Amino acid sequence: MFGDPGAPRFLHPASYPGGSTRRMHLAEATTIGDVVLLRYLPKQEGSA
């Protein structure tokens, strides 16, 4: 998602559910060897 502007994109322009107003929150971070798995879930309506 970051780095060389000419690099292939992981997330392409699209209409995502809820758009920029429907944020996600980090639910879990798990270390697997030398990488980290980040699990995000949609925020519940009305939560900050």
CA pair distance 44, 48, nearest whole angstrom: 9
pLDDT at residue 47, as a whole number: 60
CA distance 7 to 11: 12
- Provide the domain limits for residue 13: 1-43
**How many domains is the chain partitioned into structurally?**
1
Q: What is the pTM of this model?
A: 0.54
Which regions in the chain score pLDDT beneath 50? 1
- Residue 31: predicted pLDDT: 97
12 in a structural domain: yes
Q: Is 40 helix (H, G, I), strand (E, B) or coil?
A: strand
